[in-house]
A and B are shown apart, each in its own frame.
Chain A
């Protein structure tokens, strides 16, 4: 059984009157890969800075192993951080960058040597020890930053968007690399990212945040398959989010038609948000479907086609491996397991409509690719 090592208790952070973190309660288990996931300015970096000790909560407590550490400065905390832009020391070579923490701990020269070389081997930078850090590529600098943090054998490693500055290919490689290192070193990783794919691929636990609040905590499967509200459903993967009415347990009404589902526990005739993932919709002949609509746009994505279908003015995104032409009439079927019911929230009606499909995609793409400098400024 994994044990809890860090806890944030009722943590609020506010600058002037702006609330950055709103009463966060969160605990971190030993040896866990936990990801704080959310858009720019959601408070994820602030949360990390609370744990690192670079920021004190306006109210609430930070506990390490049950001991309050609010007033413990960063250099006395047994956690290490990998910073967004690496923050390598430009005046030191690779070896000295990695040895920095060990020298401060006043280890013997021979032990420093062994541990640094061992660490450089783990991050595949053997032979680079005398290189200037400024002469390294982004990926290599990233590895030096990882080595510099891990060589101190921390119990917890904090990672602030560590892959944000790398290109897609390198990012994918480093994801696997980081996961491997985490498992090999057997320590806790607290990982901050705005990239949902990264979060799903690496994490044991995902904490979805927005507007300084925790929206959902769960395993990658849980947050994907059972999002708590429209924000989570939209942020993690693609979702069609529809207005529905819960007729009774296991029956939901969408567009005036009743669908069987597997959710229960709602009040009779309670308005709800219904999530249907684009890959879970089965396309059939118009007369054989529960609903029918017209294809308005088709985009080839490699593995599948993104098809936008107009159902009575509400546009859905459907992902299919078969080609459909624009203007084609199609019918759809949805299995009970593919329908996920959520309670109405402040996010209802804001997400999950593909009427402005192209704009939405642009938004998503730019969020994925833009460096999170904005985020940093917001939260610094």
Chain B
């Protein structure tokens, strides 16, 4: 009997060394000062970072909602297509994930820049001239990059597959006879959706939301490259404490800890919300 557990040993060691130990270190760092003594000092200043917390949560929330609004209809329509079409679309959705994350984000930079693709296109179409003539302004570009909008766009672009895939895989597994049964009992297509498809796809929605929201809250490279430092997020703040000029791993750990707790609360609430839906996935 014992032998069976041997297979788990490498994983357990891996988790212990690279997950549990760092977690403990984060907790220790968060409650100690540079001299090594116990302190709550690191948490005292947390209030001054409130705006970063709020902004991070807000932008991640926006990105999650947008991913959901795009991802759900996409998954739903996709699940109704033929198997060949489904394969092609899944490929298309996965395709960007094969390209390096940084490269993708750099690509967006060159699209959104003041002299980037979009602005040059608008300029060559004479849109700016037109606007300037009408309003008497003198603009040569629309500020796209270094805005919160660009950050949200970057998040949506990067994390959309994590919304689509879980929802799609749940919807595609819904037994077609359930839909027929609902129709048989008098449900029109909207009622079928609201009373059968939506509740049965909820587990997919919940895991999609988790899989988008959690990385979006803690991202740092997207906001750095597309936000241009104008909208510092939690990830950036933490990065600065470890690698930047503001070097203070104790504060960084404290912020990480708070962020972790917030994420855990979010996930707990989500799981409460989705309780009892688990069986729907299994069926």
Contacts and interface: CB of A to CB of B under 8 A. Distances in A.
A313 B180 CA distance: 53
Given A132-B279, A134-B279, A87 B180 contact: yes
Interface string B250-283: 0000000000000000000000000001011001
A74 B184 contact: yes
A75 B188 contact: yes
A80 interface: yes
In the A-B complex, the 7 residue pairs with the closest CB atoms: A101-B185, A87-B181, A87-B177, A74-B183, A90-B283, A104-B186, A91-B199
B180 A104 contact: no
Interface residues on B, range: 20 to 34
Interface residues of A, number: 27
B177 A104 contact: no
Contacts of A336: none
A148 B180 contact: no
A349 interface: no
Contacts of B178: 87, 89
A52 interface: yes
Contact of A75 (B183, B196, B279): B183
Contact of B185 (A54, A91, A134, A152): A152
Contacts, number: 69
Contact of A89 (B180, B191, B196): B196
B180 A83 contact: yes
A87 B182 CA distance: 9
Contacts of A132: 279
Nearest to A152: B185
Contacts of A91: 199-200, 277, 279-280
Interface of A: 52-54, 73-76, 79-81, 83-85, 87-91, 100-101, 104-105, 132, 134, 148-149, 152
Nearest to B191: A104
A81 B279 contact: no
A152 B183 CA distance: 13
Contacts of B188: 73, 75
Contacts of B200: 90-91
B177 A80 contact: no
A101 B177 contact: no
B182 A100 contact: yes
B199 to A, nearest CB: 5
B80 interface: no
Interface string B171-193: 00001011011111111100100
B87 interface: no
